[in-house]
A and B are shown apart, each in its own frame.
Chain A
């Protein structure tokens, strides 16, 4: 006997189409990921930004300074470079700006205050330095080295080509990468992202000294104009053909905020996750200010000897290395007091530091009891003690 079974017709093409999942490209990548680590990397989970104070909110040294060259001047962690004996006249400031890109309140601004022509191998750059121990996961010098992506918001009155130079430091020989980005419209905030290829050639010194830095070149003499290169053994402070010359006219400016450096080939949105307190604490590993508030800021506890004070204090948090001490303001605002005697410092204190403590000694013109308990203080809000352990 023959039994006939009838089934509805099946359109094989449609059935296969139904198998497709309702996911976008990113969703497909997530489904294809073979390990949790791969998924972690795809969504950029965890703390991503290698830059501290990328949104320029912290400026412990002050909000504006007229500068002539190298150094840390205003916004924390960012410093200027002046190579080959050059000097310039620039105002470096932290700006509280109304037209800031969405989500950002502050920027770092460099304003040319005196025009000059940069010659020979002179360079004017803005630099951000990172400890070697903080970039070990880039796996530089191995075949597994990572791509990294730098993103930022930038604004200048001068449209054109700006050079960008990541630099990896190694005692066996440094390596650098030279690339560029373009500011298209003058006086307009623009978002930029630059993918930096893996550095498989050179490792990094994985210590608490500088292992990696990025230069934002702002002006360069003709001797340092070269072709872009991919992790070559080459000098720092180079620029590509067409580099804008920010020093050539008074009132030229360069303004930047929202700087993020992260592992991967994609620039993810800026990591706003850090509170002001967290960001300040990260900056204080490199620079701390004691004082600058009130007229009786207690600085150290100790004793007197003749006209001198000797005392000990503790830093706010452990710093990268033993910091350098200096006075910002007026030296005579430093003083010590015991019982009814108050004495002002007659010279800059000598301060011996460790990464988390300091021992202070200074003299005065006032004679006091020997070996009396005393404390050192700062008597003016305009004066403060600076502890600098920057890279």
Chain B
């Protein structure tokens, strides 16, 4: 997230008593922020409420502003959860993927003399193609930084594709584990 520092936000009412803007100090500058969800400073105020709670506000956070912040946080968590679930649904590159076939109608029909009805002609269709697992390790030549004339040494390491896949899956799993149940239920 971008670094924006918000302090001493407060609601401002006009002469008629209506609340019309938030007066906030953002990155050291005092600003009048409109209550417009498409205004970027309004969104930054909501982010500050999500992250800092009432610390960024003079007095209690007004109910409608807290509700807007809660809704934003919920939607962010839901979006992150969906991305994480989609990432986990991808195949594990170290294991590869099995082919999946399915019986589907060809579009032709034949007459079944026993049932006296027309029936679809079926055939096997590959719905998921097989992918071979990647090699678990790769070798690389390592050159000495101290002695440029020395012969390079062969080194065997984990396949970087597997390393990246494992790291991304772990990150996605952490997002899923950290998502509140009510957010998961909304998916």
Residues of A whose CB lies within 8 Å of any CB of B are 69-71, 81-83, 85-87, 171, 173, 207-209, 233, 305, 310, 320-327, 348-354, 359, 361, 388-391
Q: Give the docked Cα–Cα distance between A153 and B120 (Å).
A: 63
Q: Mark B77-92 against chain A: 1 for CB-CB distance below 8 A, else 0.
A: 0010011001000000
Q: Give the docked Cα–Cα distance between A350 and B12 (Å).
A: 7
Asked, given contacts A326-B31, A389-B39, whether A310 binds B15 with beta carbons under 8 Å apart, the answer is yes
B residues near A69, Cβ cutoff 8 Å: 2-3
Residues of B whose CB lies within 8 Å of any CB of A are 1-4, 12, 14-15, 20-21, 23, 27, 29-34, 36, 38-41, 79, 82-83, 86
Q: How many Å from the CB of B182 to the closest CB on chain A? A: 19
B32 touches A353 (CB 8 A): yes
Can you list 7 A-B pairs with a CB-CB distance of less than 8 A? A87-B3, A321-B34, A324-B31, A324-B33, A324-B40, A348-B30, A361-B15
Q: Give the docked Cα–Cα distance between A251 and B82 (Å).
A: 43
**Contact partner of A390 among B12, B29, B31, B40, CB < 8 A?**
B40
Q: How many Å from the CB of A343 to the closest CB on chain B? A: 18
B residues near A171, Cβ cutoff 8 Å: 79
Q: Give the docked Cα–Cα distance between A348 and B31 (Å).
A: 8
B residues near A324, Cβ cutoff 8 Å: 31-34, 39-41
B residues near A388, Cβ cutoff 8 Å: 41
What 3 pairs across the A-B complex have the smallest Cβ distances?
A322-B34, A352-B20, A70-B2
B32 touches A325 (CB 8 A): yes
B82 touches A173 (CB 8 A): yes
The majority secondary structure among interface residues of chain B is mixed
Closest to A303 in B: B15
Closest to B15 in A: A310
B residues near A70, Cβ cutoff 8 Å: 2-4
Q: Give the docked Cα–Cα distance between A70 and B21 (Å).
A: 23
**Contact partner of A321 among B12, B30, B31, B36, CB < 8 A?**
B36
Asked, given contacts A70-B2, A352-B20, whether A326 binds B14 with beta carbons under 8 Å apart, the answer is no
Closest to B39 in A: A321
B residues near A322, Cβ cutoff 8 Å: 34, 36, 38-39
Q: How many Å from the CB of A73 to the closest CB on chain B? A: 11
Q: Give the docked Cα–Cα distance between A354 and B39 (Å).
A: 11
**Contact partner of A173 among B2, B23, B32, B79, CB < 8 A?**
B79
Asked, given contacts A171-B79, A350-B23, A352-B21, whether A391 binds B40 with beta carbons under 8 Å apart, the answer is yes
B14 touches A353 (CB 8 A): no
**Contact partner of A352 among B1, B2, B32, B41, CB < 8 A?**
B32
Asked, given contacts A233-B86, A324-B41, A388-B41, whether A83 binds B2 with beta carbons under 8 Å apart, the answer is yes
Closest to B20 in A: A352
Q: Give the docked Cα–Cα distance between A81 and B3 (Å).
A: 9
A residues near B32, Cβ cutoff 8 Å: 324-326, 348-353
Q: How many Å from the CB of B41 to the closest CB on chain A? A: 4
Asked, given contacts A322-B36, A390-B40, whether A82 binds B2 with beta carbons under 8 Å apart, the answer is yes
Q: Give the docked Cα–Cα distance between A359 and B79 (Å).
A: 37
A86 touches B23 (CB 8 A): no
B residues near A86, Cβ cutoff 8 Å: 3
Instruction: Beyond the given A87-B3, A321-B36, A354-B34, please list 4 additional residue pairs across the A-B interface where CB-CB is below 8 A.
Output: A207-B38, A322-B36, A353-B32, A391-B40
B21 touches A353 (CB 8 A): yes
B15 touches A353 (CB 8 A): no
B residues near A353, Cβ cutoff 8 Å: 21, 32, 34
Q: Give the docked Cα–Cα distance between A359 and B20 (Å).
A: 10
Q: Give the docked Cα–Cα distance between A352 and B13 (Å).
A: 9
Q: Give the docked Cα–Cα distance between A343 and B29 (Å).
A: 23
B30 touches A327 (CB 8 A): yes
Q: Give the docked Cα–Cα distance between A350 and B10 (Å).
A: 11
B34 touches A352 (CB 8 A): yes
Q: Give the docked Cα–Cα distance between A305 and B15 (Å).
A: 11
Q: Give the docked Cα–Cα distance between A81 and B27 (Å).
A: 14
